[in-house]
Structure 1
C-alpha cells in the first residue's frame, strides 16, 4: 500500500522535527555538563587562591590541590588515581618492573631500615649485602633514623652511578661501594620441579616480559622432562593486559578470544585474541589462585577455565574486572582512570564490587548473589560472573595459631634466623635442610628473654562471651563461674610452643633458608607442606578426575 504525499510530508516533518529536537536536547545536555565542569573548576581555583591569601598559616598549594584531587577520585573507585610529576618514575617502575638502583627490598624491623631481601644477580647481592644488614649511611647521609621510603629514594638513581652504603651486621660496621644498574624485577622469581614429571612456575606479577619469562620457564621445564605443570598465581595482583593474553596463548591455539574490554567510549572497546602458535596445548595444567589474585591473574585463570584448559585450585580470586587507562595531564602529571570492564571468553565479567552502587549507598557493596548470572565454559560447565574466579577445587586457607602469628609479627623468627646465619656460614641444600629438634630447642631458649604475647581463639571467644554476659541482669550470679573459666583457659606459652611446633618449624625453616638462598630459596621452601600444592599433585595422580572436572561429567 502506497502512502499519500500529504502523509509523507507530515512524517518527514515529524522526523526532521524529532532529530532537530533530539540534537538540541543533546547539545543542551552536553553544554550544561560543560558549564557545570567549568563552573566548579573556577570555584575550586578561586577557593585555593583565597585560602593562600587569607588563611592564618602558610599553606602549600601543591599539597592542598593534590589532596583535593585524591579525595575527588576516591569517590569513584580505588583504581582511579592521580599521579603528579614527582611520582611518575615510581608509577613507571610499577608498570615495567624496572628502575635504577641497587636491587634490594628494604623495610623496617624495629628501629631504622634494613635489607629485607637482596635480589639475585643485582648490585646489592653481588657486593655482599645480606638480609638483616641495618642501613646506617647512604653516601654521606645518616639514614639510621630516616623512614624506609626516604632511604629507598637515596638508594635509587640513574644507571651506572656510584653509591656507597654503610651497614651494621651483627656487631660489625661494614661499607660497600656499589654501582647502580637498571633493575628489572622478575615476574617469575622461581620455577622448578615438584617431582620427576611435574613442573612448577611461580608468577608474581604482570609487568613487561612476564609472558617471555613464563615461556622460557615452560620450555626449560619441558626440556627437563616435565609432563605436567602447576602455574601459581597466588598473591599476584595483576598488571599488563597484553602479558596476560600472551600467557594464555602459551596453552591455547591461535585465534582464540581471551578477553574483551567494554567501556563508555568506542576506542576502549577491544577484543584481544591469541596470535601465536601455543607452546603446549595439551600438557595437563593446574592453576593456583587465592583471594589476592587479581586483574590480569584473573584473566589468565578465567580464560583457561572458560576453555576448560586448566583445573583451578585454591580459593576465589579478588574480583577486579576493571580496566585502567593512563591519560597525560598538563605539567607532566597523569591520571590513571577506569575506562572499561573485562569480559572473559564465556562472556562473564569478574568484577566483584559495584562502585556505582557503593557511591549511592555510602558503603562498599558487592554484587549480590541474586544478580550473578550463569555462563557456560567451552565444555558446558556452569560458571558465574560478578565475584571473581571461583576455583574448580577449593582448598581452605590454613589458619596459623596465634602464637605463630605473634612470633613472626614480632620479628622473633626473623631475628633468630639472622642469629643462626651469623653463626653458620653455610647450610645443607634446600631439600635436605630441616629444623632439627636441637635447633627448635635453641629457638625456644632464644625466646626465654624476649617479650611476646597473643590472644588465643578460645580466649577471644571467652572475651566476647563475657562482654555479652556483663550486659545480662543475672551476671552477678554467674560472675564467679566466668572468672574461674577465665583462669583455667589462660594460655600457656610453653605448651603452645609444643602444640604448634610444626607450623612454627615451617616458618623457621623458610626464614633460615632465605638467608642462604634468598627469594628463590624461600619460595621453594614454602612449597613443602603446602595444602594447595598437595591438592594439585593429588589431581595429577588421578587424571580421570581431572577429566571429569573439565568435562562436567560426574563420577
Structure 2
C-alpha cells in the first residue's frame, strides 16, 4: 500500500470510527488511539520512505483527504492562506483598490474600485503593471505579485506601468488603505418604475447596503423591485436573515439550523421593522446562486413575498463556522443543515450516504418531500430552489470564451477607448456594424485557435470507429463533417457576432464608467431582467403566480 493510501485510510478511520461508540470514554479512547497511530505512522514514513518527503505537504495531503471525505465545504486553512480567507468572509483587505488579471505574460489593470487610491492616484484600466516597489513582476508568480499589491493599511506602494500611447513607463505612488468590497456593486432603475439591486456577496453590511439601495429606489419612484442573486455564492447567514427582513414583517421565521450539537439547533426570525412588505418583488437566481442566496430566495418564496425568476439554484443547504487552530491556522467546518420556513432543506447532494466508491449522489426524487407555501403553492426540498418562472441559460460559445480568456475582448476595448475620448452612455451604447468589422479585421493576425465541443465529439467518434474497424468505411463522411466545421470556422466571428458584440460593449462601457458601466451595458441583452420587469408590470399575472386572491 502506498504512503498516500495509508494516510487516507488512517485519517478516514480517525474521523469515522468514533461514530460506532456510544459512551464518551470509548469515543475519546478511539480518538486518542487513532491520533497516536497517525503520529507513529508519520514518523516511520518520514524516516524510512525511499525518497525525501516534505512533512508539511504530506500532512496537508492527509488533512485535505480526510476533510474531502466529509463534504467540499469543510476545509483546513493554513496560516499563509488565512488572510485571503478573511478577505472572502469580510470583504475587506489592505490595498489600493485595483483589480488585475494575467493576459498572456502581462499583468493588466482590468478594474478600478470607485473612490479608492488607485482611481484617485491616476491608475487606469488597461495599464500593464511591470513593477511593484521596483520589483520586476516578470520574475514573480501571479500569487506573489498579488500579495505585493496588498499590505498593511497606511504603508506606501509604487507601481510602474506601461500605458497605451505613453512613450515610456509611468511610475505612480500610492498609500494602502482599507478596501471594502461592496456587496451591492450596483443599484438603479431599469425602465421608468422598476428598481434593480445586484447583490453579489453576503459579507458584513450586505443587508445595510440592500436597505440603502431599496430606500433610494423607492424615493426615485420604484413601484417594483428586482433583487439579482445570480452567481451569488452566499456568505453570512445573519445577513440573509436581515435582507429578508427588509421585505417581511418583524417576528417571521426565516431559517432554522439543525446539527449534531444542540447549540446548533437554532431558529432565526426577523427582528426589525421592514422597509416595505407590499412592493412587488422579483428575485433572479441561477445555478450559481447558493447558500445564503437560497435562504433569501427560499424564504421569500415560502411566504409568497416575491416571484423567483431564472434557473434552479445550486442546492447548498449546509452551514459552516470557522474555528481557530494552532499556529494561526483555521478550520471551516460544516456544523448544521438549514431549513426554510416551510421546513425545506434544499441540499442537493447527499454527503451522509456516499456510494461504495466514495462518490456522492443527488437526493433521489423518491425521497424529496412536498411543502406548501403561505398561499398553498407546492414547493419541494432536496434540490435547490425551483424558480416560479423558468428562463433558459445562455451558455457562451467556446469561441467567445476563448476571446475573453486570452484577453482579445479586453485589448480591443482598451484601444477603442484610447481612440474615442468621449465617454459613451452605457445603457444606450452599441457597436456599429462598421466598428464590429474593425474588430474582425483586428483579429485576423491573432492566434485564437480552439477545439469546439463538436470537434472533440468527432475526434472521439473517429477513435471509436478505428477501434471497431469502421474507420475506412466512414472516412468520407467524417472528412465531410470535418471540412464543414473548418468552413464554418472561417466565418465564426460573424456567426457568433451577437454574444461577442455584447462582451465588447460591456468591456468598453466599463473602461469609461468602471463596474457600473459594464453592468448597465448588459441590461439590453438580459432576458431575465426583461422577463422580471414585464412580470412586475403585469399585476394580474404576478398575483396569479403567487396564488394571491
Partner of 1:304: 300
**Does residue 67 of structure 2 align to residue 73 of structure 1?**
yes
Alignment of 1:231-250 (within 5 A): 231-250=227-246
Partner of 1:161: 155
Instruction: Find the aligned partners of 1:357 and 1:131 in 2 and give their Cα distance.
Output: 49
Distance 1:249 1:441, change over 3 A: same
Partner of 1:260: 256
Partner of 1:395: 391
Instruction: Find the aligned partners of 1:524 and 1:481 in 2 and give their Cα distance.
Output: 47
Instruction: Find the aligned partners of 1:93 and 1:71 in 2 and give their Cα distance.
Output: 25
The residue matched to 2:525 in structure 1 has which SS? Answer: coil
Is this contact kept in 1: 2:428–2:521, CA < 8 A? no
- Which residue among 358, 363, 371 is the counterpart of 2:359? 363
Partner of 1:191: 187
Deviation digits for residues 255-284 of structure 1, max 9, x if unmatched? 000000000011111000001111010111
The residue matched to 2:254 in structure 1 has which SS? Answer: strand
Partner of 1:436: 432
Is this contact kept in 2: 1:157–1:180, CA < 8 A? yes
Is this contact kept in 2: 1:106–1:148, CA < 8 A? no
Distance 1:92 1:359, change over 3 A: farther
Instruction: Find the aligned partners of 1:299 and 1:380 in 2 and give their Cα distance.
Output: 19
Partner of 1:23: none
Instruction: Find the aligned partners of 2:192 and 2:107 in 1 and give their Cα distance.
Output: 42
Query: Unmatched 5+ residue regions in structure 2?
Result: 1-19
The residue matched to 1:199 in structure 2 has which SS? Answer: strand
1:340 Cα shift? 0.3
1:456 Cα shift? 4.8
Partner of 1:30: 24
Partner of 1:10: none
Q: Extract structure 1 runs of 4+ deviating beyond 6 A.
A: none
Instruction: Find the aligned partners of 2:345 and 2:50 in 1 and give their Cα distance.
Output: 51
Instruction: Find the aligned partners of 2:418 and 2:21 in 1 and give their Cα distance.
Output: 74
**Does residue 134 of structure 2 align to residue 134 of structure 1?**
no
Instruction: Find the aligned partners of 2:400 and 2:58 in 1 and give their Cα distance.
Output: 43
Deviation digits for residues 8-61 of structure 1, max 9, x if unmatched? xxxxxxxxxxxxxxxxxx996432322221112112222333444445655443
Instruction: Find the aligned partners of 2:522 and 2:39 in 1 and give their Cα distance.
Output: 54
Alignment of 1:463-502 (within 5 A): 463=459, 465-472=461-468, 475-502=471-498
Instruction: Find the aligned partners of 2:425 and 2:534 in 1 and give their Cα distance.
Output: 26
Partner of 1:83: 77
Instruction: Find the aligned partners of 2:407 and 2:21 in 1 and give their Cα distance.
Output: 63
The residue matched to 1:350 in structure 2 has which SS? Answer: coil
For structure 1, which segment, 337-346 or 398-407, has the greater mean C-alpha deviation from structure 2 after superposition?
Answer: 398-407
Partner of 1:450: 446
Instruction: Find the aligned partners of 1:187 and 1:376 in 2 and give their Cα distance.
Output: 32
**Does residue 145 of structure 2 align to residue 151 of structure 1?**
yes
1:469 Cα shift? 4.4
Partner of 2:115: 121
The residue matched to 1:135 in structure 2 has which SS? Answer: strand
For structure 1, which segment, 42-51 or 413-422, has the greater mean C-alpha deviation from structure 2 after superposition?
Answer: 42-51
Partner of 1:12: none
1:496 Cα shift? 2.5
Alignment of 1:49-60 (within 5 A): 49-55=43-49, 59-60=53-54
1:168 Cα shift? 1.7
Instruction: Find the aligned partners of 1:137 and 1:477 in 2 and give their Cα distance.
Output: 59
Instruction: Find the aligned partners of 2:461 and 2:410 in 1 and give their Cα distance.
Output: 35
RMSD over aligned Cα, in angstroms? 2.1
Distance 1:526 1:28, change over 3 A: closer
Instruction: Find the aligned partners of 1:506 and 1:194 in 2 and give their Cα distance.
Output: 18
Instruction: Find the aligned partners of 2:455 and 2:134 in 1 and give their Cα distance.
Output: 51
Is this contact kept in 2: 1:257–1:271, CA < 8 A? yes
The residue matched to 1:254 in structure 2 has which SS? Answer: coil
For structure 1, which segment, 94-103 or 196-205, has the greater mean C-alpha deviation from structure 2 after superposition?
Answer: 94-103
Distance 1:198 1:249, change over 3 A: same
1:458 Cα shift? 5.3
The residue matched to 1:271 in structure 2 has which SS? Answer: strand
Query: Unmatched 5+ residue regions in structure 1?
Result: 1-25
Aligned residues: 528
Instruction: Find the aligned partners of 1:256 and 1:444 in 2 and give their Cα distance.
Output: 56
The residue matched to 2:159 in structure 1 has which SS? Answer: strand
For structure 1, which segment, 171-180 or 356-365, has the greater mean C-alpha deviation from structure 2 after superposition?
Answer: 356-365
TM-score, length of structure 1 as denominator length: 0.90
**Does residue 267 of structure 2 align to residue 288 of structure 1?**
no
Partner of 2:274: 278
**Does residue 404 of structure 2 align to residue 408 of structure 1?**
yes
- Which residue among 89, 94, 103 is the counterpart of 2:88? 94
Distance 1:136 1:263, change over 3 A: same
Deviation digits for residues 289-318 of structure 1, max 9, x if unmatched? 000000000000000000000000000000
The residue matched to 1:230 in structure 2 has which SS? Answer: strand
Instruction: Find the aligned partners of 2:462 and 2:60 in 1 and give their Cα distance.
Output: 47
Instruction: Find the aligned partners of 2:25 and 2:171 in 1 and give their Cα distance.
Output: 65
TM-score, length of structure 2 as denominator length: 0.91
Instruction: Find the aligned partners of 1:146 and 1:96 in 2 and give their Cα distance.
Output: 27
Deviation digits for residues 335-386 of structure 1, max 9, x if unmatched? 1110100000010001010012226441121111121111111111110000
Alignment of 1:325-340 (within 5 A): 325-340=321-336
